[in-house]
Amino acid sequence: QATRTPLIAGNWKMNLDHLQAIAFVQKLSWSLGDAKHDFSQVEVSVFPPFTDLRSVQTLISADKLELGFGSQDISEHDSGAYTGEVSGAFLSRLDVQYAIVGHSERRQLHGETDAIVGAKSAAAVRHGIVPVICVGETAEDLEEHGPSAVPVAQLREILSHLKASDEIVVAYEPVWAIGSGQAATAEQAEQVAAALRAVIAEVLGDDRAAATRILYGGSVKSDNIARFMREPNVDGALVGGASLAIDEFSRIVQFKK
């Protein structure tokens, strides 16, 4: 089995302006520094709003911080008449490593389809950015189709836009678990993560499947992270609400299996 470095990703959503972001990243890196966090064992990335990215990049590069960062979205287009969109070409100039694509809030509030999420994933890869591809079922989907069917179908369509050589991260985020305080069980997360890994193998081959980190997201906290991380197919977490509290996020990062 390939070794996959776990990734803990903090999705700030529409919180923290660029000045607050600077203070936050500084304090988070002090907290992880005090705890002697080994970033080679557990990678940590924050996902601030677009307007914070330049400040976060400057701070991380000036202080040589080991913290990574990504954007919460990316345009499927590279340039042109797309008012309000942000190109991967611009993001890569800011050293953005990752871009979240297909978050359920964008699917629900902005009508993003799997075809759009696939095109955004391909755009990220085109610019040397690793897409963090979010999939997950609603409570109704779960009742109607069981746990894996919808996320598996979503991922299959999205992966049809990619090649075996493209580095990706997949985040399994059951919509009913996001911001609800009701996380999936570790067994549920493992079952779906295993099914998603099988789809990656089917579409992009065994090597890409073995190398791809699959994160769980949905009400992850410091008191449940260890359970998820014990599962063989869960390689990290996408954390929303709890990523905005430095002490709590720092405890999540330092989970003990």
Q: Residue 173 interacts with ligand PEP (CB under 6 A)?
A: yes
> Any contact of residue 224 with ligand PEP (CB under 6 A)?
no
Q: Using CB atoms within 10 Å of the CB of residue 216, give its burial: 0 to 12 exposed, 13 to 18 middle, 19+ buried.
A: buried
The reply to whether 241 sits in an annotated binding site is yes
163 neighbors 204 (Cβ within 8 angstroms): yes
Nearest to 18 by CA among 62, 50, 40: 50
Q: Residue 219 annotated as binding?
A: yes
Nearer to ligand PEP, 12 or 90 (CB): 12
Residue 12 annotated as binding?
yes
157 is catalytic: no
The CA distance from 89 to 60, in Å, is 20
Contact 130, 124 (CB under 8 A): yes
The residue number whose beta carbon is nearest to ligand PEP equals 240
* 177 token code pair: 């678990």
Nearer CB in complex with ligand PEP: 90/228: 228
Task: Closer to ligand PEP by CB, 16 or 59: give it.
Answer: 16
Among 7, 74, 241, 254, binds ligand PEP (CB under 6 A): 241
In the bound complex, what is the minimum distance in angstroms from residue 161's beta carbon to ligand PEP? 22
Q: What are the angstrom distances between the C-alpha of 66 and each of 19, 41, 42, 95, 191?
A: 20, 12, 11, 13, 32
Which one of 103, 137, 161, 190 is the catalytic residue?
103
179 in contact with ligand PEP (CB under 6 A): yes
Q: Is 10 annotated as a binding residue?
A: no
Specify whether 105 is catalytic.
no
What Å distances lie between residue 113 and 133, 159, 193, CA to CA? 12, 13, 21
In DSSP terms, which residues pair with 71 in a beta bridge? 99
For ligand PEP, which residue of 133, 169, 240, 250 counts as binding (CB under 6 A)? 240
Nearer Cβ to ligand PEP (131/218): 218
Amino acid type, 230 = R
User: Is 179 annotated as a binding-site member?
Assistant: yes
The alpha-helical segments, DSSP class H, found in the chain are 18-34, 53-62, 88-93, 104-110, 114-126, 139-145, 149-159, 186-204, 206-211, 225-229, 246-253
Stretch that binds ligand PEP, among 19-27, 35-43, 189-197, 236-244 (CB under 6 A): 236-244
Which spans of this chain sit near ligand PEP (rule: CB under 6 A)? 11, 173, 178-179, 217-220, 238-242
Catalytic positions, please?
103, 173
Cite the annotated binding site for substrate by residue number: 11-13, 179, 219, 240-241
